[in-house]
Amino acid sequence: MPTYICHTAPGRLTTEQKQELADWLTTVYFEEFGLSRYMTQVIFQEVAKDDRYIAGKPARPDLIWTRCDVREGRSVEMKTRLLRRIQEGVAKIANVPEEAVWTYFCDLPPEDIMEWGHIMPPLRDTKPNDAAWFQQLSPPFKEYLRQLA
C-alpha cells in the first residue's frame, strides 16, 4: 500500500520515464508518510485514444491520470501535500503541463486490504506502524522485502 495506477495514451511514456516515475512516486510516499518502499507498487496502463473521453469527446493525448489507493487515516493537509508533489513530479518527468496531470487519492479501510497474505493494520497517528504485520510474514518474504527496501 499504496498502489498507483497511471493511465496514459499508448506510447506516451518511455521505459525510462516509467522507471523514473515509479521511483519518484515511491520516494514521495516514503518521504511524506514514512511507509517502507517495498509497500508501494506502481502500475502503468495505456488507454487507446478511442477508449478515453472527456465531455463526450476524445481526451487529449497528453493527459496522465493517476489513481492512488491508500490505507485511510491521513489528514487533509498530508494528502494535499502529497497530491501537489505527485502533480509536480509527474508533469516534470512526463514533460506535460501540470494541468494535464489528474490524481485521485482513494482511501480504503485497512481491513479491506490484504498484502503479502496479511490484512493491513490501521494507521496510528497518521503514520504506519507495520512492524507486527511484517513479523507475520514468512522468512523468505521478509528477506525478499528487505532486498527491495
For the stretch 17-53, pLDDT in tens is 999 999 999 999 999 988 888 889 999 999 998 999 9
Residue pair 25/40 in contact (Cβ under 8 Å)? The answer is yes
CA–CA distance, 27 with 130 (Å, rounded to integer): 18
pTM of the model: 0.86
Nearest to 60 by CA among 71, 72, 70, 52: 52
CATH class of 3-148: alpha beta
Domain ranges of the chain: 3-148
